[in-house]
Amino acid sequence: MSNSEMDSYPTIIRRDFVSKVIASLKAAGEKTPLYEAVWWFFAGCIVVGNIGYFAGELPGPLGYMLAYGGAAGCAWAWLFARTLFHTDALARKWPLFLLGATVLIEGSWDIAHELPVAGEMGRLIANAASFLCISMLALVFVEALSGLDRQTSSAERRFRTTFIGFFIVALTVTMLWALNAPEGSLAAQSQTPARLAFGLLAIVGGRCAVEFRKKNPVEAARCKPRQKLRARTLDPAEENLARRIRGLLEKQQFFATPKLKVSDLALALGEPEYKVSQCITGVMERQNFNQLVNAYRIENAKAALKDGANRDRQILAIALECGFNSVGPFNRAFKQEVGMTPRQYRAEQG
């Protein structure tokens, strides 16, 4: 082996390593929903902001990094809410431009108010930062309330109500009560603990919201008919996934698996869980995974109840055979789908 070939080995190894890292990042990006990616940035902003708060004034590049990295927590909260409650949150680029402008202005204000900046310039930057922060906080409520109507599922309604309620409590304690409180007062003494507590709760609560949304994607019914038709036309991958889901449920009677979860279906298909959930509520036009599975189970139960050979068979046995864990959920699901109880349905079949 020549010296030139030996010298080229480290370069080849480095290139191979970089290629593998890039491929891994791309794969992770494809499997990570947008709202989860935004949550990571939101959580990072909170952590960096608190580090800067307790570290105080730091000179040089580190101070700038903390200032801009911990800036615009309000904007990140808004973008997180937007991606959490809208499937087309970043269909246009203006939300990213607005986020970037907010980070720039609030980070500049954080640096400027520590420096001997001209009074008028400092005042303008401070006013702009305050206006943007208030606007972003107001937009969080707008995003959470958008699309909330009578057709919203009870689970989604509870989720949004909890999200809004937590946000109201956090704003009340950290901004209305503790912020700019008189020195020595209880509110002033509680400012640091409140900042830490609600920062931690925002990160944990945000993660809980991400996990909920993975299992309960934003309903496709919220989309306009033209948007839904365009999505079907332009995304053959989802149509193919829908066919695979139907094939697995119908041909192999996967629906009869006890305690079946969307994660089980995703594992059997070899697809990310969030993609399967989005396909069910999008292309397949189901409210959620349970509604889809129950529809298959009810059709199977109807066939069993029609069969004269099962006339003396207990309702519970049929329910268990179709994948239900007990007769109560079976009766409720059956009545919701068919409009009558299993016993009434069997009686009608004669």
pLDDT score of 282? 85
Of 186 and 281, more confident = 281
Could you tell me if residue 20 is inside a domain? no
pLDDT in tens, 228-248: 444 445 478 888 999 999 888
pLDDT score of 348? 82
Q: How confident is the model at residue 14 (pLDDT cuts 50, 70, 90)?
A: very low
User: If you search the block for the tokens 């119908």, which residue do you land on?
Assistant: 250
Shared domain for 266 and 343, answered yes or no, is yes
Rg (C-alpha) for the chain, rounded Å, is 27
Could you tell me if residue 178 is inside a domain? yes
Residue of 126, 143, 206 lying closest to 170 (CA atoms): 206
**Which range among 4-8, 91-95, 112-116, 241-245 shows the weakest confidence by mean pLDDT?**
4-8
Task: Choose one of 216, 236, 252: the last residue of a domain.
Answer: 216
Task: Choose one of 216, 245, 267: the last residue of a domain.
Answer: 216
Of 175 and 225, more confident = 175
Of 317 and 129, more confident = 317
User: Is pLDDT of 156 > 50?
Assistant: yes
Q: Please give the Cα distance from 257 to 293 (Å, whole number).
A: 10
Q: Please give the Cα distance from 133 to 123 (Å, whole number).
A: 15
Mean pLDDT of 16-35: 59
Shared domain for 154 and 261, answered yes or no, is no
**Which range among 217-231, 278-292, 325-339 shows the weakest confidence by mean pLDDT?**
217-231
pLDDT in tens, 36-53: 888 998 888 888 877 877
Could you tell me if residue 309 is inside a domain? yes
Shared domain for 242 and 197, answered yes or no, is no
At 303, which helix (H) or strand (E)? Answer: helix 289-306
Shared domain for 70 and 201, answered yes or no, is yes
The number of residues making up the chain comes to: 350
Could you tell me if residue 58 is inside a domain? yes
Of 145 and 176, more confident = 145
Could you tell me if residue 25 is inside a domain? no
The dihedral over CA atoms of 324, 325, 328, 329, expressed in degrees to the nearest 10, equals -50
Could you tell me if residue 27 is inside a domain? no
pLDDT score of 60? 61
Shared domain for 298 and 180, answered yes or no, is no
Domain count, the chain: 2
Task: Give 270: exposed, middle or buried? Use CB within 10 Å, 0-12, 13-18, 19+.
Answer: exposed
Shared domain for 251 and 158, answered yes or no, is no
pLDDT score of 228? 45
Could you tell me if residue 24 is inside a domain? no
Supply the mean pLDDT for the chain.
76
User: Is pLDDT of 227 > 50?
Assistant: no
* Token representation of residue 146: 């958008």
In CATH, what number is assigned to the domain containing residue 290?
1.10.10.60
Show the CA angle centred on residue 47, arms to residues 94 and 166, nearest 5°. Answer: 75
CB 156 within 8 A of CB 219: yes
In CATH, what number is assigned to the domain containing residue 40?
1.20.1070
Mean pLDDT of 182-190: 70
Above pLDDT 90, what percent of the chain?
3
Q: How confident is the model at residue 119 (pLDDT cuts 50, 70, 90)?
A: low
pLDDT score of 70? 67
Task: Choose one of 216, 231, 265: the last residue of a domain.
Answer: 216
Mean pLDDT of 330-334: 87
Residues in Cβ contact with 72 at an 8 Å cutoff, skipping those fewer than 6 apart: 45, 99, 102, 103, 106, 107, 132, 136
Mean pLDDT of 156-162: 88
Q: How confident is the model at residue 86 (pLDDT cuts 50, 70, 90)?
A: confident
Shared domain for 69 and 203, answered yes or no, is yes
Maximum distance among all alpha carbons in the chain?
A: 90
Shared domain for 315 and 194, answered yes or no, is no
Shared domain for 228 and 180, answered yes or no, is no
User: Is pLDDT of 81 > 70?
Assistant: yes
User: Is pLDDT of 218 > 60?
Assistant: yes
* Coil, strand or helix at 190: coil
How many beta carbons lie within 10 A of that of residue 260, not counting itself?
18
pLDDT score of 237? 83
Of 223 and 154, more confident = 154
User: Is pLDDT of 26 > 50?
Assistant: no
Shared domain for 189 and 226, answered yes or no, is no
Shared domain for 76 and 136, answered yes or no, is yes
Q: Please give the Cα distance from 208 to 259 (Å, whole number).
A: 22
Could you tell me if residue 19 is inside a domain? no
Shared domain for 229 and 307, answered yes or no, is yes
User: Residue 343: which domain range?
Assistant: 222-348
CB 258 within 8 A of CB 323: yes
Q: Please give the Cα distance from 239 to 279 (Å, whole number).
A: 8
Q: Please give the Cα distance from 110 to 64 (Å, whole number).
A: 9
Of 212 and 350, more confident = 212
Q: Please give the Cα distance from 194 to 207 (Å, whole number).
A: 20
CB 78 within 8 A of CB 136: yes
pLDDT score of 207? 92
CB 139 within 8 A of CB 78: yes
Residues in Cβ contact with 244 at an 8 Å cutoff, skipping those fewer than 6 apart: 269
